[in-house]
Chains A and B, each alone.
Chain A
Amino acid sequence: MVDVLANNRKITDKKNRPFEKIFYSAIFIVAGLVLAMVIYFIAVILIRGLPAVTWSFLTTAPNPIKKTIGIFPSIVNTLYIIVFTLIICVPIGVGGAIYLNEYAKNKKFVRVIEFATETLSGIPSILYGVFGYVVFCLMFGLKVSLLAGIFTLTIMVLPIMIRTSQEALRSVPKSYREGALGMGATKWYMVRTILLPSSLGGILTGIILSIGRMVSESAALLLVAGGSAMYMPKGSILDQLSGSGSTLSVELYRYAYSRGDNQTAFGIAAVLIIIVILLNLLTRYIAERLNKK
């Protein structure tokens, strides 16, 4: 008979378990630290940045003669780049994931592609910048332009889009697929009516991650989309996109590094954070609307 297993204790004899308590406290402290850091981070940026955010700061272009600072062109450029990159990259990414998960028969081929997308999503972004500069700006003759920036970001976030969509599709139970196919649904009908609606949440996460990656990009975009803070898009969409201009992150980098203007840099940071939060909320809202239909 093992002594510790002998039933000589009452169930009310509470045993002291110091390790439980230590681990519990440790986890509690770590979780608190994470939360505190995030709050501190956002608070510092907003507190230091918001005083710089005035109406003219948001709605005008910088004017070297009057010596005023404005970031309106950069806001427009940032939104353009995000929206158009998503328009290209979401259908391709989700479509690619559907192919890999549901249609591709050759498992070896799928594994090679998955390995490639994993590798690509871990590559430093400046490499995409150099690639984009050589291929899109020079070879395709797009010059340094928003369009070159959009294409470069597309290949940069495509791996993220594919991976997250694949994960989302994989999480849909096999029984849903069987149920639909068992009633005579074609594969595409099953994908359209069952898989896509069920994996919308995961695809959404992919979109939000992609937006994050695009917004945070500075080095690569400086290379392929240019650094003009005064470029105001004009004319047709194509005309607008073929001009070169800087995004908020590029501007942030320049104000903080080349010009040493921390006040403006924090102002841009505050605007950037607010834009990211708004875009995430908007994405969520759109997905919910789609889901209800």
Chain B
Amino acid sequence: MSEIKIHTKNLDLYYGDVYALKKVGMDIYRHNVTALIGPSGCGKSTYLKTLNRMNDTVAGVKITGDVFLDGEDVYGKGVDVTILRKKIGMVFQSPNPFPMSIYDNVTYGPRMHGVKKRIVLDEIVEKSLQDAAIWDEVKDRLKKPALSLSGGQQQRLCIARALATQPEVLLMDEPTSALDPISTTKIEELVSQLKRKYSIVIVTHNMQQAARISDYTAFFLLGELIENKKTQAIFSAPKDSRTEDYITGRFG
């Protein structure tokens, strides 16, 4: 068993009157890929966003329960979300590069956290773009607008941008749902590479994707965590009949 990176316990979340997460308790292991699956509206994205407190920005959210990152209480007193989100990077469903150059996109995070030296920034840009497997495609046009890239390239740029702040955890919210099969394959390969350095949590609608790239799979239904196990185990021998129904395509 690997080391626990994030530990959640009794996590309850309300959007106004809607009970969106019900007593979710699960562990996320270091240097593993954890896939969150489940039908739309089951709470998997909501759960993901509680980990880096992105739900804080939504009006009317109430969260109780515990989230620990390396034993530190994420919702504790005196937590600086800036530092939290530097440690826990995020990649969104549709690619969202900023309307600036490729270079400026990657340096956005480091600059914000106080890196000023040009040489250091250049180094971060090259390394992040290499880690995101897009360096070769963009190295000659770093000053070009990021929005001129294709959708798949934009998403890898967003991954590079997230890596540039040197996070420990990477949250990915359906990162390939807006992409074509070739770009999807590239990102899946990338995820398998990245888990050597990062702990990755990925929300996906694609069961094959979860089976292909994840080490652990958690199945959510109506705000509840139904099952969280090694991916192989969950796909070959699901314990709960609802899990089985979902992964065999009987609903969802």
Contacts and interface: CB of A to CB of B under 8 A. Distances in A.
Nearest to B162: A183
Contacts of A189: 112
B112 A181 contact: no
A142 to B, nearest CB: 43
B223 to A, nearest CB: 22
Nearest to A187: B57
A175 B94 contact: yes
Interface in B34-59: 52, 54, 57, 59
Contacts of B81: 184
Interface of B: 52, 54, 57, 59, 81-86, 89-90, 92, 94, 96-100, 108-109, 112-113, 158, 161-162, 165
A274 interface: no
A178 interface: yes
Contacts of B84: 184
A185 B83 CA distance: 9
A180 B162 CA distance: 10
Interface string A183-227: 111100100011001100000000000000000000000000000
A173 interface: yes
Contact of B98 (A180, A181, A184, A186): A180
A183 B160 CA distance: 12
B86 A179 contact: no
A289 interface: no
A182 interface: yes
B59 A184 contact: no
A183 B54 contact: no
B92 A184 contact: no
Given A179-B158, A184-B83, A173 B165 contact: no
A186 B82 CA distance: 7
Contacts of A179: 92, 96-98, 158, 161
Given A175-B92, A178-B96, A184 B54 contact: no
B54 A193 contact: no
A88 B7 CA distance: 52
A259 interface: no
A197 B82 CA distance: 22
B17 to A, nearest CB: 17
B59 A183 contact: no
Given A175-B96, A176-B96, A179-B96, A184 B57 contact: no
A181 B112 CA distance: 11
A181 B49 CA distance: 12
A184 B96 contact: no
A105 interface: yes
A183 B94 contact: no
Contacts of B82: 184-186
A74 to B, nearest CB: 42
A181 B109 contact: no
Contacts of B94: 175
Given A182-B52, A182-B89, A183-B89, A198 B99 contact: yes
26 contacts: A105-B59, A173-B96, A175-B94, A175-B96, A178-B92, A178-B96, A179-B92, A179-B97, A179-B161, A180-B108, A181-B57, A182-B52, A182-B54, A182-B89, A182-B92, A183-B85, A183-B89, A183-B90, A183-B161, A184-B82, A184-B83, A184-B86, A193-B108, A193-B112, A194-B98, A197-B99
Nearest to B52: A182
Contacts of A185: 82, 112
Nearest to B97: A179
